Structure 1
Amino acid sequence: MPTLPLTLLVITHNEAANIARCLDSVPFAAEKVVLDSGSDDDTAAIAQAHGARVVHQDWLGFGAQRNFATTQASHDWILVLDADEYFGPEDAMHLTRLLPGVLAGDAAVAVLRRRTLYMGAPMRWYRPMVGERMARLYHRGRARWSDARVHESLRWDGRAESLDVAFEHLHNPTLPHKQLKVLRYAELKCRDWLERGRPPRVWMAPLVYVASFAKEALLRLALLDGWRGLVVAHTAAAYAVYKRIRYYEMVRNPESVEQARAVLLRHGLDR
């Protein structure tokens, strides 16, 4: 497969189980860069063995980490994947045929679709996991990541091109993996709220659960995926509630911010 003038960027921390599959699924990238925030497994060695240049950067938060990674690329056009994401062979070939036109054009970003495997099988109906549209290919002079600690987004000036290409996402392998991620993401989001001085509004928690569950189960069709869909709807609603009650605790007891940081750090969830 011919290589094209773009850089694949992957940010990692302890992704030894996933990184090889991710890197090998993008044979068309002229450069592969892994930005690692201090893995203590074999992530860096595996990445190097699979053709990536590994750069170390202490954790800055998701948005800032991605923006720093952008500065490490040798090419203006950048493809971003997480370590647990990859292209199937057919989609990689299809993208290779489409890319020359994209790279030569004036678009700021190209939008791809993401398909998700959950509890060991693909989701069939739940919209965010079936064909979620995401801007993952971008020109670094025309787009930039937000600086949010978590739930960062790509922002751009100019035209977005939509490509009929999908990549795969191996969602959290188990529910314990998911719950650990929830703890980390909620903590980061709450720190953002704390810096902005957002009112706690803990009284909204029951309403938030009902509204979030209904949104995921009905509007986003999780219910049609059976019990797995109900699990998805519940975990999404529980996350929405947990963020609010944890933020209330931060405001009510400011000492809990550093206390929680210390315990999360011991478990590798705050870096």
Structure 2
Amino acid sequence: MEYLSVVIITKNNESIIEKCLQSVAWADEIVVIDSGSTDNTIGICNKYKCKVIKSDWLGFGRTKQLAVEHASHNWIFSIDSDEVCTKKLKEEIIQIINNENVVSGYRIKRQTYYLDKPIRYCGWQNDYPLRLFRRDKGTFNSNEIHEFVELEGEIKTIPSLLLHYSFPTISSHFEKMNKYSSLSAKVSFEKNKQSSLLSALLKGSFKFFKMYILQLGFMDGMTGLILSKNSAFGVYMKYIKIYELNKKQHV
């Protein structure tokens, strides 16, 4: 019989993390890497007997891998603090770790909510991140943003849902877009990526067209329209920040 370690990274997540921890309290171990929370995040984690390790922020990939390295068990379930493991997903994971010794990792169907509404189109219907894996077969890469697990061996898919409550308000979406666009612009700039005002406008416009028209965002009603427009602005923010960094370099 094998055992499961859940790994989570946190910073000031007191408003959302309890639902996450409740949903994985059945796991053999919960490892939390906290990067400087000043709210009650750690107190809530202690309530669920998590193994809490304090660390400087190392970027998404390296911070998540640090959590894996502090895990005691070979099966790893990586979950974000704004995600919830459903009962059906729990049952499927338990069955896998008790009976499966061949497959190296599993992609899990993620259902994301935007403004408390489930998004069924906008391209989000094809969201299957690799979240359950054997640590002897996989590691998170060192990407500062857009991290993923590099895995050796066979990968299968779990259809049971992982619920993602990432954007409960417009403000929370804009806060995250501002943070992510800055990180992404920095990474792109370091790779000598160029941008201009025109390209920022065009890329933002195409993002809206892709999400709302090509990926059927209009089927999500007014919520799909808001999401597509805001996501397009997020793309614009990334490329206009690259443009800003380019200009500063030549001052």
Query: What TM-score range do you get, normalising by the shorter chain?
Result: over 0.9
CA distance in 2, matches of 1:124, 1:13: 29
1:201 deviation in Å? 4.4
Amino acid at match of 1:92: K
C-alpha displacement at 1:95, in angstroms? 3.0
Number of equivalent positions:
251
Match of 2:212 among 191, 210, 217: 217
1:252 and 1:127 map into 2 onto residues whose CA distance is 33
Equivalent pair of 1:11/1:35 in contact (CA under 8 Å):
yes
What's 2:179 paired with?
A: 184
Structure 1's consecutive aligned runs of 4 or more residues displaced over 4 angstroms after TM superposition are none
Change (3 A) 1:166 1:198: same
Q: Secondary structure at the match of 2:128?
A: strand
In 2: Cα distance, 1:239 partner to 1:111 partner: 26
Matches within 5 A, 1:129-148: 130=125, 132-148=127-143
Identity %: 27
Separation in structure 2 between the aligned mates of residue 245 and residue 77 of structure 1, nearest angstrom: 41
- Alpha-carbon distance between aligned partners in 1 of 2:10 and 2:204, rounded to the nearest angstrom: 32
Question: Match for residue 82 of structure 2?
Answer: 84
Match of 2:107 among 88, 93, 111: 111
Amino acid at match of 1:68: L
Which of 91, 97, 100 is the matching residue for 1:99? 97
CA distance in 2, matches of 1:153, 1:170: 20
CA distance in 2: counterparts of 1:76 and 1:201, whole angstroms: 47
Paired residue for 1:269?
none
Contact kept, 8 Å, 2:122 with 2:228, in 1: the verdict is no
Larger deviation, residues 198-207 vs 164-173: 198-207
Partner of 1:239: 234
Q: Is the 8 A contact 1:95 1:165 kept in 2?
A: no
3-state SS, counterpart of residue 29 of structure 1: coil
Amino acid at match of 1:109: G
1:70 and 1:184 map into 2 onto residues whose CA distance is 24
Q: Secondary structure at the match of 2:3?
A: strand
Alignment map for 1:116-265 (pairs within 5 Å): 116-128=112-124, 130=125, 132-254=127-249
RMSD over aligned Cα atoms:
2.0
CA-to-aligned-CA distance 1:83-132 (integer Å, 9 cap, x gap): 01011223322332333233x22x2211111112211222233441x452
> What TM-score do the two structures reach when normalised by structure 1?
0.86
Which residue is equivalent to 2:62? 64
**CA distance change for structure 1 residues 219 and 70 in 2, over 3 Å: closer, same or farther?**
same
Structure-1 separation of matches of 2:99 and 2:44? 32
**TM-score normalised to the size of structure 2?**
0.92
Contact 1:28 1:96 in 2 (8 A): no
CA shift digits 1:46-75 (9 cap, x unpaired): 101112111101101111111111111111
Query: Equivalent residues in 2 for 1:6-21 (5 A)?
Result: 6-21=4-19
Higher RCO structure (Cα 8 Å, ≥6 apart): 2
Whether the aligned pair in 2 keeps the contact of 1:148 and 1:192 (CA below 8 Å) is no
Amino acid paired to 2:142: D
Gaps of 5+ in 1: 257-271
Gaps of 5+ in 2: none
Corresponding residue for 1:31? 29
Letter in 1 for 2:117: A
Cα 1:158–1:201 change in 2 (3 A) is farther
> CA contact under 8 A between 1:115 and 1:122: conserved in structure 2?
yes
Whether the aligned pair in 2 keeps the contact of 1:91 and 1:166 (CA below 8 Å) is yes
